[in-house]
């Protein structure tokens, strides 16, 4: 069997898929093979919604129609070894795949804390695998008490979804003083906390699980603050680490001990091997430090850069780094964050000026389905460029954070926001007199 | 009576109000007086919604709470004459108001076409006056056949609202081949036309009203193409011209025969007199030609520039011009446009490359309340900067056009869109693999 392919991509998630599709667009004459270790991949950010909002968990399966349409070969197998000398990948099934260019899109591995009882039946990390999550959903739906460990995005979204299930009581534990603390300042995190609490979620902050135990009456989670929580099922959402095993075996460099080192064009220390998505190191837009960002949206941006630049540097990327841009949805409340929070910016030594604005997302605010909306913008005190923003509101808040995100990437100044031209409409935005990005920018100047 | 005020602003709409509030912020020690000719101003872009969506038309009144709270005096009177020599404004009530700095925010005057029967009872232009519109609403609600002349934003939005009233048949006449033709390319205009037609609006394009007549059986509108439409009431929405009488009397220059000439800081040819909003000329961002844009959002941006820069140039404005950024809402369909359309760009001699994208605004698309979404982006073929964009979709489309608008104002390149970082979330945006601003930018490169 001739396994030769010009471009070999290891992985099956959004990063792998977009690398393949982008490579096809820029290098139509090249053959492309994806080696992925499971047949059914799922949309990573849709995982929480497999528990309630989607009628069937399988609706969150990732379509691979685009691959066959674009003449991209798919092999279900597990890559085991890279031989850089001979330019070959060997798989679990002992097949050998030669390559000209290799892309690692091998994702991340859930972090399992080394605590007592972590191996008990019914305590599981999140794996991006359809059957695995389908089993989880089934078990959670039969549970009375579900514990979620970790109050980041996945923990918050799971709590919101699972509390919608009848007869399931949700407990959410977070080590930091607030939920979503890496992405939002306290006043925004509190909105999420109030929302979840009003929905019946029991939140424990400033503490963590010290041990799980089990006896004839069932399982218990023992928290560091002395609280005991009876649980039927626990989901670990405390994060993941870059999957770097294959890269390390091949002698590729990591960055600062974790994450495959890549340059601006997603090239590893081997010019014929690229890495994209969760397995590749992310560096912050402002500090250039390692940034703990693992998002499909970041991964797809990287995949587009890699796919276009495999053979020639076709799409020039400015030296930018990740801006850590997120949005989330909690029972109708939309929150977005981009760039640095006020807390993080200050902790990193930046001198900032901050402005906020409150408005309604229609005008006049008596129109049906009007939501409160609030915006916070963080600027460099001296150089006055935008460094971060947070938004809370109705459904339009999601694209508003993208306006801020675009502005961060373009290094937009505060006075440009003050004089910005924007579209407004009674049914769908704040009034032009109240447009929150303008008002917050003005208010920052005090 | 001492009428002295450091800053005098003539007008009562959004431009006047935001100039006053911005001046208060930047010049806390100055006294400010607004001279406006009616007590109750209304939110201009809310006018269509006084016909149906708002329970009471008066809900669209503009609040002036902010003025008294900010120690801004309001005089209900009509400015009649400016004496630049003595720095004084004289009003209809023969009061004299001295000023150091004067701001003209005197708006626009509806265009009344010189055709037969235009003076008949029941044929009215739109005036930004609460009582006047309340009367219109009352009459329209009693009518059987309502004709709207002009298929721009106000005409389209009025048609959508009025067709929601039981027993009212709406006719909409537009001279150009399509509705909204100045702001959208044909494929977007057609979406609006289909939407309105499905709601029972009768659309007549490529024609205009030649004459109105009246006999014992009622009124008729005679179109240039020979069609006769029986009407009870007609609304003229064919546009407005800058209100420049006061400026001309005072010897201020106009630009190219219409609109008060202003520099980048909204200063007229008299350094102590500023003009903002519809009365001031607008120049296109790309062509620097006169641009027929009359929008509250543009007016408020100008007002912020004028208010900040009355005494000292405090907020630097780059030499930008108007990008003509709009959004509208037709029965759940949101459309946005920013910058030049493909049609206009080409007509003005720009060589462009165009990319489009189609997606759904949630992921997976089986989530409740998923809308189709489409984007068109127009780039300079050679210099590759973004020159325009159009969006159609659900409620998030409104802020998506603002992301494009921000990018135009920052002269963002196509490859920066290709590698942009954006926030995505299953409930509120397209999938990161399908994000339409990225895909359209990629597709433009062909």
| B45 part of contact set with chain A, CB < 8 Å | yes
Say whether pLDDT at B384 is over 60: yes
Alpha-carbon distance of B177 to B158, in angstroms, equals 19
Q: Tell me, what's the pLDDT at A319?
A: 63
- For B370, residues 6+ apart whose C-beta sits below 8 A from its C-beta are B360, B361, B362, B394
Say whether pLDDT at A192 is over 60: yes
| Strand A145-149 relative to strand A169-174, pairing | parallel
Of B105, B95, B146, B100, nearest in space to B124 by CA: B146
Give me A57's structure tokens: 């968990």
CA distance B251 to chain A (A): 29
Say whether pLDDT at A295 is over 70: yes
Query: Where are the strands (E) in B145-200, listed by range?
Result: 145-149, 169-174
CA distance B303 to chain A (A): 9
| A58 part of contact set with chain B, CB < 8 Å | no
Stretch B83-91: mean pLDDT? 97
Domains of chain B as residue ranges with CATH: 7-108+241-308 (3.50.50.60), 123-238 (3.50.50.60), 332-443 (3.30.390.30)
Mutate to test the interface with B, among A276, A313, A315, A423 (most CBs of B within 10 A): A423
Q: Which of A209-213, B44-48, B100-104 has the lowest mean pLDDT?
A: B44-48
Q: Tell me, what's the pLDDT at A366?
A: 87
CB contact (8 A) between residue A426 and residue B45: yes
Q: Which of A54-63, A260-269, B173-182 has the lowest mean pLDDT?
A: A54-63
Confidence of residue A446 (pLDDT cuts 50, 70, 90): confident
Contacts A301 to B, Cβ<8 Å: 419-422, 432, 438
**Closest CB from A406, A421, A427 relative to B420:** A406
Query: Where are the strands (E) in A255-341, listed by range?
Result: 273-275, 326-330, 333-339
**Closest CB from B43, B336, B412 relative to A410:** B412
B window 284-303, beta carbon within 8 A of A: 295-301
CB contact (8 A) between residue B43 and residue A364: yes
Confidence of residue B297 (pLDDT cuts 50, 70, 90): confident
Q: In what order do the strands lie in the sheet with A32-36?
A: A72-76, A32-36, A7-10, A101-104, A273-275
CB contact (8 A) between residue B405 and residue A394: no
Per the model's pLDDT, the better-predicted residue between B348 and A316 turns out to be: B348
Per-residue pLDDT reduced to its tens digit, A13-57: 999 999 999 999 999 999 999 999 988 889 889 999 999 999 999
CB contact (8 A) between residue A428 and residue B338: no
Contacts A363 to B, Cβ<8 Å: 43, 45-46
Q: Is A96 left (phi over 0), alpha (psi -120 to 50) or beta?
A: beta
**Closest CB from A53, A317, A419 relative to B317:** A419
Stretch B382-388: mean pLDDT? 96
Average pLDDT taken over every residue of chain B = 94
Per the model's pLDDT, the better-predicted residue between B398 and A379 turns out to be: A379
| Strand A386-393 relative to strand A372-380, pairing | antiparallel
Alpha-carbon distance of A392 to B395, in angstroms, equals 15
Alpha-carbon distance of B194 to B197, in angstroms, equals 5
Per-residue pLDDT reduced to its tens digit, B235-290: 999 999 999 999 999 999 999 889 999 999 999 999 999 999 999 999 999 998 99
Q: A186 to each of A190, A204, A344, A375, how far by Cα in Å? A: 6, 15, 12, 13
- Say what percent of chain B tops pLDDT 90: 85
Per-residue pLDDT reduced to its tens digit, A116-159: 999 999 999 999 999 999 999 999 999 999 999 999 999 999 99
Q: Tell me, what's the pLDDT at B372?
A: 94
User: At A249, phi and psi to the nearest 5?
Assistant: -55, -35
Per-residue pLDDT reduced to its tens digit, A81-128: 999 999 999 999 999 999 999 999 999 999 999 999 999 999 999 999
Alpha-carbon distance of B107 to B14, in angstroms, equals 10
Contacts A322 to B, Cβ<8 Å: 421
Alpha-carbon distance of B393 to B357, in angstroms, equals 12
Quote ipTM for the complex.
0.90
Contacts A45 to B, Cβ<8 Å: 363, 424-426, 432
CB contact (8 A) between residue A423 and residue B18: no
Say whether pLDDT at A2 is over 90: no
With CA atoms as reference, the chain A residue closest to B420 would be: A301
Say whether pLDDT at B230 is over 60: yes
Stated as kind and residue range, the H or E segment containing A10 is strand A7-10
**Closest CB from A49, A364, A429 relative to B426:** A49
Say whether pLDDT at A6 is over 70: yes
Confidence of residue B318 (pLDDT cuts 50, 70, 90): low
**Closest CB from A366, A432, A442 relative to B25:** A442
Contacts B329 to A, Cβ<8 Å: 425-428
| B406 part of contact set with chain A, CB < 8 Å | yes
Alpha-carbon distance of B397 to B295, in angstroms, equals 19
- Say what percent of chain B tops pLDDT 70: 99
CB contact (8 A) between residue A428 and residue B296: no
| A403 part of contact set with chain B, CB < 8 Å | yes
Q: Are A181 and A190 in contact (CB under 8 A)?
A: no
**Closest CB from A53, A401, A427 relative to B367:** A53
CB contact (8 A) between residue B400 and residue A402: yes
Confidence of residue A242 (pLDDT cuts 50, 70, 90): very high
B window 181-220, beta carbon within 8 A of A: none
Stretch B416-438: mean pLDDT? 92
Say whether pLDDT at A9 is over 70: yes
Confidence of residue B1 (pLDDT cuts 50, 70, 90): low
Contacts B46 to A, Cβ<8 Å: 363-364, 426
* CA-based max dimension of chain A: 70
**Closest CB from A60, A326, A429 relative to B364:** A60
Say whether pLDDT at B319 is over 70: no
Stretch B378-406: mean pLDDT? 94
| A422 part of contact set with chain B, CB < 8 Å | yes
Confidence of residue B54 (pLDDT cuts 50, 70, 90): very high
Say whether pLDDT at A439 is over 90: yes
Chains A and B: how many Cβ contacts under 8 Å? Answer: 259
Q: Which of A44-53, A201-210, A315-324, B91-100 has the lowest mean pLDDT?
A: A315-324
User: At A117, phi and psi to the nearest 5?
Assistant: 80, 5
| A331 part of contact set with chain B, CB < 8 Å | no
Per the model's pLDDT, the better-predicted residue between A316 and B299 turns out to be: B299
CA distance B115 to chain A (A): 32
Q: Tell me, what's the pLDDT at A321?
A: 86
User: At B95, phi and psi to the nearest 5?
Assistant: -85, 155
CB contact (8 A) between residue A304 and residue B55: no
Stretch B419-428: mean pLDDT? 91
Alpha-carbon distance of A438 to A424, in angstroms, equals 12
**Closest CB from B367, B405, B419 relative to A421:** B405
Confidence of residue A1 (pLDDT cuts 50, 70, 90): low
| Secondary-structure percent of chain B, ordered helix, strand, coil, rounded to 5 | 25, 30, 45
């Amino acid at each position: 069997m001739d396994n030769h392919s010009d471009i070999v991509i290891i992985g099956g998630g959004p990063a792998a898929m977009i690398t393949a599709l982008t490579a096809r667009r820029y290098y139509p004459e090249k053959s492309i093979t994806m080696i992925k270790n499971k047949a059914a991949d799922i949309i990573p950010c849709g995982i929480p919604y497999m528990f309630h909002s989607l009628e069937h968990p399988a609706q969150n399966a990732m379509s691979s129609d685009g691959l066959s349409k674009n003449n991209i070969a798919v092999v279900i197998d597990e890559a085991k070894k890279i031989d850089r000398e001979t330019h070959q990948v060997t798989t679990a099934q002992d097949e050998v795949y030669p390559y000209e260019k290799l892309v690692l899109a091998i994702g991340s591995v859930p972090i399992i804390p080394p605590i007592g009882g972590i191996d008990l039946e019914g305590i599981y990390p999140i794996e991006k695998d359809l059957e695995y999550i389908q089993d989880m959903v089934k078990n959670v739906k039969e549970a009375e008490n579900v514990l979620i460990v970790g109050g980041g995005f996945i923990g918050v979204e799971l709590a919101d979804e699972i509390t919608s299930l009848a007869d399931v009581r949700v407990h959410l534990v977070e080590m930091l003083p607030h939920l979503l603390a890496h992405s939002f300042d306290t006043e925004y995190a509190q909105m999420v906390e109030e929302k979840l609490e009003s929905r019946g979620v029991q939140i424990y902050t400033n503490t963590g699980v010290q041990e799980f135990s089990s006896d004839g009456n069932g399982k218990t989670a023992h928290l560091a603050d002395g609280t005991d929580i009876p649980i039927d099922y626990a989901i670990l959402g405390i994060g993941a680490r870059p999957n770097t095993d294959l890269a390390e075996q091949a002698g590729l460099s990591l960055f600062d001990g974790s994450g495959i080192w890549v340059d601006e064009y997603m090239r590893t220390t081997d010019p014929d091997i690229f890495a994209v998505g969760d397995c590749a190191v992310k560096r912050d837009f402002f500090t250039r430090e390692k940034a703990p960002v693992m998002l499909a949206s970041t991964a797809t941006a990287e995949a587009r850069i890699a796919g276009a630049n495999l053979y020639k540097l076709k799409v020039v990327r400015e030296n930018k780094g990740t801006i850590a841009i997120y949005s989330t949805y909690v029972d109708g409340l939309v929150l977005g964050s981009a760039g640095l929070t006020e807390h993080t910016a200050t902790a990193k030594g930046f001198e900032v000026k901050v402005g906020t604005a409150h408005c309604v997302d229609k005008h006049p605010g008596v129109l049906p389905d009007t939501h409160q909306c609030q915006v916070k913008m963080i600027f460099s005190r001296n150089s006055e460029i935008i460094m971060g923003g947070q938004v809370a509101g109705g459904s339009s808040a999601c694209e508003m954070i993208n306006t801020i995100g675009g502005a961060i990437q373009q290094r937009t100044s505060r006075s440009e926001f003050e004089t910005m031209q924007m579209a407004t409409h009674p049914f769908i935005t704040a009034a032009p007199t109240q447009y929150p990005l303008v008002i917050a920018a003005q208010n920052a100047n005090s």
